[in-house]
Every structure is written in structure tokens, then in C-alpha cells.
Structure 1
Amino acid sequence: MRTFTIGERTLAESALEFRTLLADAYEQGHRAMCMCKEPAVAMYIARLEDQYLIKRMPLSGRDHDPACPSYEPPYELSGLGPLIGNAIQIDASGKADLKLDFSLTKRGPRSAPILSAEPSEPGIRSEPRKLSLRSMLHYFWEAGELTEWRATWAGRRGWGRVRTSLLNAAAQMTARGGPLGDVLFVPEVFHPEDKDGIAARRATALKSIQATGSGPRKLMLIVAEVKEFSAAREGQRILVRHMPFPLMIEEGAWRRLALRYETELELWRSSEAFHLILIATFGISTAGIASVEEVALMVVNEHWLPFEDINELRLLEKLSHLKRKSVKGLRFNLPRDAPIVSVTLPEQKPGPVAMFIVPGSAGEEYEHALTDMINARPEITPWVWRVAEGEIPRLP
């Protein structure tokens, strides 16, 4: 059971008055200090529906004791490593200041939308000093603790919780001199009894990107679940859940999107249990039509955990029944042919376990990179599944 210092009081989270203290501290903007180590580790208080929770500050998970539930595996094992200190910098307040590789303004006439660059494509170089649109989505998932799972959470993570986690995470980020949360739109879960209230809040949130003339247009980020794609008179409509109007995308951009994210789309279409997550920059024309400028996609399972292929999905399914926590590793800007940790088991005894999946196509260069990654973190026990050698090895 964790112990926290909030203001001048130090309490175990099992104390009867702890929840009341959290609510008061949230309203006053106080930090919670986790006492798992000396010096104590700063955390923030978030509101999730009708509950108050204590969450990690950006990139602070490694500062906690390995036995603490807030401990997070070393980011060097995932695609997050190259971005730290470059695209992601922690400022004096403990918030993450981000350098973005996409624009939030549009100058001149609308041109054809472009897709978030995938470093794995020939001629496209990974840029560790800036966050691509795809890596921004991965960072939202990581900072929102949506990469974490344990069996006791089954049935308790729906879009409402995902949305709140994303907004809470964005509140700890800044970009281009302002709060990132001010330019992030995540659709609310639709409730018929609050239809008018939801519409009013949506209109207020989107008011700043409504075009009023021919000058520069402001854009926003949207993170949403795709419901379906459908043909329009010109181009395609992207229908997202909990939003009454589509996002329009031109036909050429749609064809490139379908080609670039062929794997994600194929996985999503293979099961009704999966969700397809979209991140895009978008604006609204003078006619009130929402159109995307840049877009990236990510497929997640029924627990909203991202996965890249069927092998990774099978591993997640095996781990989903365990009470111990698992943490999904993400690729961020790294290309698909670079090794990353697939899943980490931070609560494993006597020490954390990093789980790697080596694809059947892996060559000597891949194996060398994997060996270097494992040797760089000797305190982490490696578990390796080489797909070409057969079925999933016994779990740790």
C-alpha cells in the first residue's frame, strides 16, 4: 500500500480520509508526493469520472521504487528513448514540453491532406528531435497509462475512461508555448439525456478553428475511434464514434492512407472486438465542413492496448488474464524493422522482465541491435520469443 504526502499531511492510500484529502487537493492544485523513495517522487491528482486518482508526472515512472505500483520500465527499451531530451523535454514545473513535427495552422488555399510520415518507408528518416503525429498518439497512450493492464481491470475501461486519461495526460503537456490540452479534441461519450450539453461543449471547443475568411486557419488535434469509412461524392468520409459529423478526406489522400496503414486496417477489420484509433489535425471550413490535414492510425484490442501484428496480439491475450501488471511498449518514431520491447512485466520477482518478439524476417542486424538493447539494461531480465522457432515460450 502506497503512502503519500499531500500538503502537510502524510497518509497511506488506505486511510479513511484519503479520498476526501484527494478531492480537496485536486481543487487546490496540490501535488501528491509518493513516499516509495527518498527523496519523494512528485505526482499529480487527476479526476476520472467521479473518482480522484494519483497519476505519474511525465517520464517519472523510472524514479519510483521497482516495488511501487507507479514504477515504469526504462524508456530506453521502447521508441520513447530517442525522443527524451529532444522532442520531449521536462520543464521546471514537471510538465512535458513537446516539439511537434506537424503544423497546427494552415496558410493559403486548402491543399491535399498528407499522412503522418512512417520512418519505415524508403527515404523517410526518423526525426528524434520532433514528435510525428503517430508518435504523438503513442505518447498520449503512454502518458495516459493506457499501455498498462492487469486482469482486475477487465470491463472497466471504455471510451469514457480512455478519453479522461487522454485529457488528463494532455494537461501535463505543453507545445509551442501553450497547453496542449487547448488544441486537443476528444469526443465525449454520447448520452441522449445530455445531448444538448454535449453539443454545446463541442461547439465551444471547436469554435477557434471555424474558418472565417481566406487568411491562415487554425487547426486542432483530434483523437477518436473510427466507426467506419464511407464513400463521398468526392473523397471519403471518416465517421468517428460519438461525433455527429464526419471528417472529410480527399480521394488521393484516402488511397495513400489505406496503403500506408494496410496492416492496421486489416487487423481492425478482422475482429469486431478491436478498435481503430485515429489522430489527425483538422480544421472546419466557412461552410462548417471538417476536413483532415494530417492523419495517422493505430489499432488496439478490446482492452485498448495497441498491437502491431497477430503475434503481439497473442502475447497480450495470454498476459491479459494475469493479476500482475503488464506494460505495452510502443514504437513512436522507430521503423518497424527496429527491435523494441513488446511488453514489460514490472512486478515480476526478483526483478522486471522485458518481453521481446523477434519476427521471422529478422536478420543479423536485428539480432545485434536486440543484443545491444538487452545488454544495456542488465537489471531487466529478457524473455525472447523468436517466431521462426515455434510457439510462444513459457511465460515468466
Structure 2
Amino acid sequence: MRRFRLADQVIEETAPNLQDLLADAYRRKLRPLCLCQEPCPAMYIAQVGDQYIVKRMPLSGGGHDPSCSSYEPPDELSGLGLLIGGAIQVDSETGMAALKLDFRLAKVGARSAPAAGTVGSDSVVGDSKKLSLRGLLHYLWHEAELTVWTSRWTGKRHWWNIRWHLVEAARQMTVKGGALSEILFVPEPFRSADKAAIEQRRTEALASALPPKNGPRKLMILVGEVKEIGAARSGHKLIVKHMPGFVFLLDESLHRRLQTRFENEMALWGADEASHLIAIATFALTPAGLAVIEEIALMVVAENWVPYESAYEKKLVDVLARTRERSVKGLRYNLPLDRPTATAILQVQPRPVGLYVVHPSADGAYEESLGELIASRPEFDCWIWRTADSEMPTLPVGQDNVPLT
């Protein structure tokens, strides 16, 4: 439980009058101080609808105690470190993140071919100056804190709160000077009893994707759970959960590149019925009201919505799902597969633990880079699973119903 200092008053986040105190502090532009450790990290108050939330200052997560829920592992341990200050520029006063994207949000004429080397929506380009489509999905997932898990949350993470956190995260991001939330579409949970109202809200939300009378067509960004990718009479179609009767069309060329680039994600999704496949795509509506995808990327997540990239990572994520201690899953963003990252961080006392999964294809250069990455964070303990050599080592924590060996 977090405790804050507001001016000369100490408050707990469970205090019954917390919202009144935060509203007053928000109007007075006071910064709360988190009392997790000394010196006390400064925070800020965000207004979300009629609620006030205490949030950590941008790039300050490492200044909190590892046991604090505001703690965040160093960006350098994931692909995020490469992007901060370039593709992602955070205003330290407001907490708003200005994003530079390497994909189009407007279209002139017929759908153009992707730039050379990008393979459509391929995100693994290692570019620090612009954010790929998959990199944007990773950043949204990270900022929505959907990479964070503790077994105390088992059974409490569903699409309605996934959607809420994604939309709220997007409110703190801008693209080309406009709010990302204005062009982001995340389908709301579908209930047959509310079908008419939901479809009306969807029509209103997608209005900006309709073609204008003249000039370039604006694209919107979809984030949704894949139900099916199948053949249409012409090309292929993406069916998203919570959108019955609504399809997104893909032409043959895009579908072929999708199957090639994201073959791994499709196979992982198919191998585990509890996992979810998340799509992020840019799209526009035709004059006839059909949704046509321009670019698309995929990400597979476990039953608890924590992402993973391989069967090895899935095994680790499953064990972490039963762990009482808080864990944070690392994401790759734009980094290529031959660049090491921390697969996850365990927030345990007295020192956090970096968890590293080394894939069988890792070579000497990878091992050298991994050693340098580990040495750069001496304040972390280290756990390494070299998958070519052994079964997964025991984690340095106890898990619910899983005794330590």
C-alpha cells in the first residue's frame, strides 16, 4: 500500500477521503511525494474523468523502492531504452508522451506498398527515431501496466479492464500533435442486450475513418483480440472479438506478408487455447462502409494477458502467473531478436531480479551483449535460463501451490 506526502500531510491510498484530497492538490498544482524510500520520489496527479490518480513521473520508476507499485525496471533492460528521447519524447511536467511513428496515418489513392525492408508492418527494425506498429502496441501495453502481474490478480483481468487501461494510456500520448486516443479504436465488450447502443457508439467512434470529399484519407488504429483470420470472397478478413458482424478486410498481398512475418505468433496462439492473439492495425473505411486494413502487426499474450514471444517465455510467464511477488514482463519494441533484453523483472526484497531467457540460437556475440547488459545494472540480481542446456531453473521466490526446490 502506497503512502504519499501532500504538502505537510501524509495520506494512504486507501484513505476514504483520498479523492477529495487529490482534487484539492490537483487544483493547487501540488506534487505528491511517494514515501516508499528516501529521498522521496516526486509524483503527479492525473485527472481521469471524475477520478484523480497518483502516477509516477516519467522516467522515474527506478527511483521507487522495488516493493512499491510505482516501481518500474530501467528502460535499458528492455527495448524501451532505445526509444526514449527519440521515438518517444516525454514531457517531464505533464507526463505526456509525443510519439514519432514509422507508419502512415493517412492515405492517398490506392493502398501503397510498404517501404523496403519493413515487410508490411514488420516491427523489428531496431530504429530509435521512430516507433513501429508493433512497437506502439508494446508501448501501449507497457503504459497500461498490462505487463505487470501478481498471482493476487488471478481471475480479475478481463477485456473490459484491458480496454479501459489501453484507452487511458493512449490519453497520455500524442501523435503529430493530436491525441492518440482520438484515432485509437479498442472495441468495447459486446453484450447482446446492448447490441444497438454498442453499434451506434462504434459508428460514431469510426466516423473519422470515413473517406473525406477530397484530400488524403485519415487512418485509424485498431487494437483488438483476434477471433479469426480467414478467407473472404476476395482476399481475406480479420474478425475481432466483441465485434460480431463486423469484418476488417485484408488483400492477398498483405495477408501473405502477415502469415510470413508473424508465423511464430500464429503458431504460439494455435498451440495454446488459453492464450490470446492481439492485433494492432491501421485501417480506413470505404465509401460503402467496409473497413480495409492498411498495415497490421500481431502479439500473443498468455491467459492473464501478459505477452510472450516463445514457448520458453510462455513457460516462464506461466510460472510467474502463480508467483505472489510482483513481476514485470519485458518487451522488445523495435529491437531485433539478436539483441538481448530482460525477459522479466521480479520485484523482490532486498534486490530485484532480472530474468533472462537465452534461446537455443544464441551465439557468442549474443552472450557477450547479454553479459554487458547484466553488468550495466549491478543493483539487480540475475537469473539466466539457457534453454539449449537445461530445463528452466527454479525461480528465487515461492509460488502459490508450487514449492521451492
TM-score normalised to the size of structure 1?
0.91
Q: Please say if 1:117 is aligned against 2:130.
A: no
Residue 41 and residue 194 in structure 1: after superposition, are their counterparts in 2 closer, same or farther (change >3 A)? farther
Residue 164 and residue 88 in structure 1: after superposition, are their counterparts in 2 closer, same or farther (change >3 A)? same
Q: How far is the alpha carbon of 1:249 from its aligned partner?
A: 0.2
Report the identity percentage.
47
Residue 32 and residue 316 in structure 1: after superposition, are their counterparts in 2 closer, same or farther (change >3 A)? farther
User: 8 Å contact 2:123–2:297 — kept in the other structure?
Assistant: no
Structure 2 residue aligned with 1:278: 279
Structure 1 residue aligned with 2:403: none
Residue 294 and residue 300 in structure 1: after superposition, are their counterparts in 2 closer, same or farther (change >3 A)? same
Q: Distance in 1 between matches of 2:291 and 2:21?
A: 43
Residue 343 and residue 31 in structure 1: after superposition, are their counterparts in 2 closer, same or farther (change >3 A)? farther
Aligned residue-pair number: 388
Q: Please say if 1:290 is aligned against 2:295.
A: no
Residue 110 and residue 160 in structure 1: after superposition, are their counterparts in 2 closer, same or farther (change >3 A)? same
Deviates more, 1:323-332 or 1:12-21: 12-21
Residue 208 and residue 59 in structure 1: after superposition, are their counterparts in 2 closer, same or farther (change >3 A)? same
2:287 partner SS: coil
Structure 2 residue aligned with 1:224: 224
Structure 2 residue aligned with 1:343: 344
Q: How far is the alpha carbon of 1:201 from its aligned partner?
A: 1.9
Q: How far is the alpha carbon of 1:176 from its aligned partner?
A: 0.7
Structure 2 residue aligned with 1:122: none
Partner amino acid, structure 2, of 1:361: S
2:207 partner SS: helix
Q: How far is the alpha carbon of 1:54 from its aligned partner?
A: 4.0
User: 8 Å contact 2:211–2:217 — kept in the other structure?
Assistant: yes
1:222 partner SS: strand
Q: How far is the alpha carbon of 1:375 from its aligned partner?
A: 0.6
Residue 314 and residue 341 in structure 1: after superposition, are their counterparts in 2 closer, same or farther (change >3 A)? same
CA offsets, 1:57-103, max 9 Å, x none? 54332232333221011110111111011111112422111111111
Structure 1 residue aligned with 2:326: 325
User: In angstroms, what is the RMSD of aligned CA positions?
Assistant: 2.4
Structure 1 residue aligned with 2:371: 371
1:389 partner SS: coil
CA offsets, 1:223-244, max 9 Å, x none? 0000001211111010001124
Q: Distance in 2 between matches of 1:177 and 1:47?
A: 20
TM-score normalised to the size of structure 2?
0.89
Q: How far is the alpha carbon of 1:29 from its aligned partner?
A: 11
Q: Please say if 1:258 is aligned against 2:263.
A: no
Structure 2 residue aligned with 1:354: 354
Q: How far is the alpha carbon of 1:39 from its aligned partner?
A: 5.1
User: 8 Å contact 2:121–2:295 — kept in the other structure?
Assistant: yes
Residue 6 and residue 107 in structure 1: after superposition, are their counterparts in 2 closer, same or farther (change >3 A)? farther
Structure 2 residue aligned with 1:98: 99
CA offsets, 1:238-263, max 9 Å, x none? 00011241110001210110111001
Partner amino acid, structure 2, of 1:148: V
Structure 1 residue aligned with 2:132: 132
Unmatched 5+ stretches in structure 1? 120-124
Residue 26 and residue 380 in structure 1: after superposition, are their counterparts in 2 closer, same or farther (change >3 A)? same
1:242 partner SS: coil
